[in-house]
Amino acid sequence: MQQINWYPGHMKKTKELIQQNLKLVDVVIELLDARVPISTRNPQIDKIIVGKPRVIVLNKSDLANSRVTHEWIKYFKESGINAIPVNSLTGAGLDKLMTEVHNAAKDKMDERIKKGMRVRPVRAMIVGVPNVGKSSIINRLTGKKSAKTGDRPGVTRGKQWVRLKGNIELLDTPGILWPKFEDQNVGLKLAFTGSIKDEILDIETIALRLIEYLCEKYPEYMKERYKLKDIEEDGLMNMENIAKNRGCIISGGRIDYTRVAKVVIDEFRSGKIGKITLETPDDLSTMEE
């Protein structure tokens, strides 16, 4: 299995950009993928934004297991941070997000009024790893296509202030990953969800690992989606059975591993296999042991 280690120069610049502009904002919006809240939390962010009010967005909540999403909301609340489930494609949850941003900035705004300073928009910064939906959320909030979007990580570049509804100004930042993955499982989950460019990965191995995980944790979903009679102990056999059932066969009756890999990964990312969350709050205690 290849080591996943991806830290382009623009991500280093993004870290510096966040540090330089933190003093300009009242609230930090931390954007996570609801399916992998642990793996999409950049451990550097906690150190960089320490002391700033924060709101967490659990985006792509429509693709996640709703029961586990509620467990995450409870976990973050106990940590003193409000987390809002959002679907950036439909806009569900964004009104609540705006309310929480104002709530998080209330003390700062009240302080300005007491000092006789003019009332100004709440200033927020949005941060997160690539491909968790920042641009889609900004476009929803502004009601226009103000930020470049794409279905591949790394399309957002540079710094831009965007005026949002509800008297909020938002400083957008490009996606930021940490320099290396101490835990290769984190790298795998980011690969599963598309936060690492597919072009730099061994897509067949990534799909095999995903199939192994889903067959263990969500066997009924896999049986139903791919018409599997049984879940085999050998992950490769499951992959080959999926290929046969989906017609991913090349000349001579051989398995087209690349094609079946793309099928499973695409169907996982689009939610066609089912509403799946790969991490729960209980996993945190396991990781700390």
pTM of the model: 0.85
Q: What is the 3-state secondary structure (H, E, C) of 131-193?
A: CCCHHHHHHHHHCCCCCCCCCCCCCCCCCEEEEECCCEEEEECCCCCCCCCCCHHHHHHHHHH
CB 260 within 8 A of CB 248: yes
CA-based R_g, the chain, Å: 20
Q: How confident is the model at residue 135 (pLDDT cuts 50, 70, 90)?
A: confident
Structure-token pair, residue 280: 């729960």
Give buried/exposed letters for 112-142 (b at 16+ CB in 10 A, else e): eeeeeeeeeebbbbbbbbbbbbbbbbbbbbe
pLDDT of residue 165: 78
What is the distance between the alpha carbons of residues 38 and 231, in angstroms, rounded to a whole number? Answer: 28
- What is the percentage of the chain residues whose pLDDT exceeds 90? 57
Strand 249-250 relative to strand 254-255: parallel, antiparallel, unpaired?
Answer: antiparallel
What would the mean pLDDT of 14-34 be, rounded to a whole number?
A: 87
Residue pointed to by tokens 């003390």: 107
What would the mean pLDDT of 150-163 be, rounded to a whole number?
A: 54
Q: Among 83-87, 129-133, 205-209, whose mean pLDDT is lowest?
A: 129-133
- Give the other-Cβ count within 10 Å of 38's Cβ: 18
pLDDT of residue 176: 67
Amino acid, res. 86: V
Q: How confident is the model at residue 178 (pLDDT cuts 50, 70, 90)?
A: low
Q: Among 63-77, 141-155, 269-283, whose mean pLDDT is lowest?
A: 141-155
CB 94 within 8 A of CB 87: no
* Overall residue count recorded for the chain in this entry: 289
CB 125 within 8 A of CB 22: yes
Q: Does residue 153 register a pLDDT over 50?
A: no
| Domains of the chain and any CATH numbers | 9-172 (3.40.50.300), 202-281 (1.10.1580.10)
Widest CA span in the chain: 80
Per-residue pLDDT reduced to its tens digit, 45-56: 878 888 899 999
Of 3 and 205, more confident: 205
Q: Does residue 128 register a pLDDT over 90?
A: no
Residue 156: φ, ψ to 5°: -85, 130
pLDDT of residue 9: 57
| DSSP state letter for 88 | T
Q: For residue 93, which of 50, 116, 129, 60 has the smallest C-alpha distance?
A: 60
Average pLDDT, the chain: 86
pLDDT of residue 84: 98
What is the distance between the alpha carbons of residues 118 and 157, in angstroms, rounded to a whole number? Answer: 32
CB 4 within 8 A of CB 191: yes
Q: Does residue 150 register a pLDDT over 80?
A: no
Element (DSSP H or E) covering residue 270: none
pLDDT of residue 273: 98
What would the mean pLDDT of 135-144 be, rounded to a whole number?
A: 82
